């Protein structure tokens, strides 16, 4: 479909769920041989496996809250979103949440809480979390708002409900912008060479803020840490086929920090736009992106979830094998919600 077509919305939201569900198998594994990944993915094609056999984790649980809140409030409402996070956690605490964020989610459940951003600010001795929990649920902001200024503003605020460190919430901004540019056709051949440069120039503005400069110093990161990583993505891309998985992990990371996973997810999408050695020839780009994200090991559910959202916004829903969709809890809901977000997106007044 063309820019911001329904197929792209459906692809983004469904592939994010898929990444979370299929990636859960390897989360935390140090080494994941491609053979094991392909065995896992081939297993999904076994018809005898029940519907929704692969359960979603915190990534999708929180994304669903973001989606429901944006749809119900027809925009961003921090009180409503915070309430939904807290309620979801209290109903299903066993979805594999980060060790720190559960304290925030418990505090958000308090009826006496006035400032919903306060519990996140108290995390990690007041430094806030730099985990990727804000980024893993950021895709819906690109599906609800068409204007990059709104996407930046609301993806940041949505993440700050749990992640007050800029190394956490700026990961969410980067992920939302990547989905946005992909949704607009930014990965189609004529625009492809400028995709990463667009992200770098957006993030140069984002990371110029005082809070970002100060957090970078606290955590001994470079002045513009996300831009820095995006430049590394670009360098790796220029080396084309000669990049090993070990180099990707050492240059970009595969961990639970937003800085060590959002640029990695972006790399997975870009790298898998072309057929790659070691990946089945019958695979299309979306399938390649999933397999490659899993083979990196580490935070596989989250990297595959984020890469899935960006790739799904490019390839559209038809690129996702139906048999894979049937195996994943929540894929059907995501498909329905994508259509609602598509309606909201195209109803929203076009702002300058
Ligand atoms: N948590 C996991 N996976 C491991 C456990 C799985 C579970 N026990 C199971 O087996 O079912 N996955 C999920 O967590 C990630 C998102 O985490 P989020 O929401 O960012 O959480 P949190 O707690 O804020 O941060 C994660 C960890 O990062 C470290 N950290 C963050 N900020 C820090 C800081 N300022 N100083 C020091 N450390 C900091 C801490 O270790 C946090 O616990 C996703 O992968 C999701 O899938
Ligand atoms: Mg998870
Ligand atoms: Mg994870």
352 inside domain: no
Model ipTM?
A: 0.96
1 inside domain: no
How crowded is residue 207: how many other Cβ atoms within 10 Å of its Cβ? Answer: 23
Name the band, by pLDDT with cuts 50, 70 and 90, for residue 352.
very low
Q: Once rounded to an integer, what is the mean pLDDT over residues 315-321? A: 98
The string of pLDDT tens digits covering residues 181-191 is 999 999 999 99
The string of pLDDT tens digits covering residues 258-310 is 999 999 999 999 999 999 999 999 999 999 999 999 999 999 999 999 999 99
104 inside domain: yes
296 inside domain: yes
105 inside domain: yes
170 inside domain: yes
The pLDDT score that the predictor gives to residue 92 is 98
CA of 254 to the centre of ligand 3 (A): 10
Mean of pLDDT over the chain: 96
Among the atoms of ligand 1, which is closest to the Cα of residue 104? 24
The string of pLDDT tens digits covering residues 9-38 is 999 999 999 999 999 999 999 989 999 999
Closest C-alpha residue for ligand 1 atom 42: 100
Rg (CA), the chain: 18
252 inside domain: yes
Name the band, by pLDDT with cuts 50, 70 and 90, for residue 136.
very high
Contact yes or no for 216/223 (Cβ under 8 A): yes
Q: HSE (CB half, 13 Å, CA atoms) of 210? A: 0
Contact yes or no for 26/333 (Cβ under 8 A): no
Per-residue pLDDT for 347 more than 70? yes
The pLDDT score that the predictor gives to residue 240 is 72
CA of 180 to the centre of ligand 2 (A): 22
CA of 318 to the centre of ligand 1 (A): 33
Closest C-alpha residue for ligand 1 atom 25: 131
- Model pTM score: 0.97
Contact yes or no for 81/42 (Cβ under 8 A): no
Ligand 1, CB cutoff 6 Å, lining residues = 27-28, 57-59, 96-101, 124, 127, 129-133, 136, 165, 256, 299, 301-302
Crossing angle between the packed helical segments 285-295 and 6-23, to the nearest 10 degrees: 30
The pLDDT score that the predictor gives to residue 16 is 99
Name the band, by pLDDT with cuts 50, 70 and 90, for residue 45.
confident
- What range defines the domain where residue 308 resides? 6-347
- Give the residue, out of 119, 168, 256, with the most ligand 1 atoms within 8 A of its beta carbon, to mutate for a pocket test: 256
217 inside domain: yes
The pLDDT score that the predictor gives to residue 47 is 65
The string of pLDDT tens digits covering residues 240-249 is 778 999 999 9
Torsion 20-24-26-28 (CA) sign: positive
For the chain, what is the domain count? 1
Q: HSE (CB half, 13 Å, CA atoms) of 119? A: 22
CA of 256 to the centre of ligand 2 (A): 10
The string of pLDDT tens digits covering residues 117-128 is 999 999 999 999
Crossing angle between the packed helical segments 300-315 and 58-73, to the nearest 10 degrees: 50
Residue 96 sits in a domain whose CATH number is 1.10.4080.10
């Amino acid at each position: 479909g063309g820019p911001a077509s329904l197929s792209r919305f459906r692809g983004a939201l469904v592939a994010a769920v898929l990444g979370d569900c299929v990636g859960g198998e390897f989360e935390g594994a140090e080494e994941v041989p491609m053979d094991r990944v392909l065995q896992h993915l081939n297993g999904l094609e076994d018809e005898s496996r029940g519907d929704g056999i692969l359960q979603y984790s915190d990534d999708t649980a929180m994304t669903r809250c973001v989606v429901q809140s944006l749809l119900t409030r027809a925009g961003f409402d921090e009180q409503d979103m915070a309430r939904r996070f807290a309620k979801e956690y209290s109903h299903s605490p066993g979805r594999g949440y980060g060790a720190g964020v559960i304290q925030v989610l418990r505090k958000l459940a308090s009826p006496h809480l006035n400032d919903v951003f306060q519990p996140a600010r108290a995390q990690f001795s007041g430094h806030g979390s730099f985990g990727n929990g804000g980024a893993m649920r950021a895709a819906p902001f690109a599906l609800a708002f068409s204007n990059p200024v709104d996407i930046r503003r609301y993806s940041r605020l949505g993440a700050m409900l749990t992640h007050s460190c800029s190394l956490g919430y700026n990961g969410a901004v980067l992920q939302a912008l990547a989905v946005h540019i992909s949704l607009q056709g930014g990965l189609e051949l004529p625009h492809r060479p400028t995709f990463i440069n667009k992200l770098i120039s957006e993030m140069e503005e984002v990371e110029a803020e005082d809070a970002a400069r100060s957090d970078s110093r606290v955590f001994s990161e470079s002045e513009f840490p996300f831009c820095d990583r995006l430049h590394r993505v670009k360098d790796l891309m220029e080396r084309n086929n000669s990049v090993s998985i070990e180099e990707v992990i050492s240059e970009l990371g595969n961990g639970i920090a937003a800085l060590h996973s959002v640029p990695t997810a972006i790399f997975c999408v870009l790298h898998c736009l072309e057929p790659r050695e070691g990946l089945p020839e019958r695979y299309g780009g979306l399938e390649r992106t999933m397999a490659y994200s899993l083979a990196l090991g580490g935070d596989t559910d989250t990297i595959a979830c984020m890469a899935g959202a960006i790739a799904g916004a490019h390839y559209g829903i038809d690129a996702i094998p139906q048999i894979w969709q049937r195996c994943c809890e929540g894929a059907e809901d995501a498909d329905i919600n994508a259509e609602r977000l598509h309606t909201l997106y195209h109803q929203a007044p076009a702002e300058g």
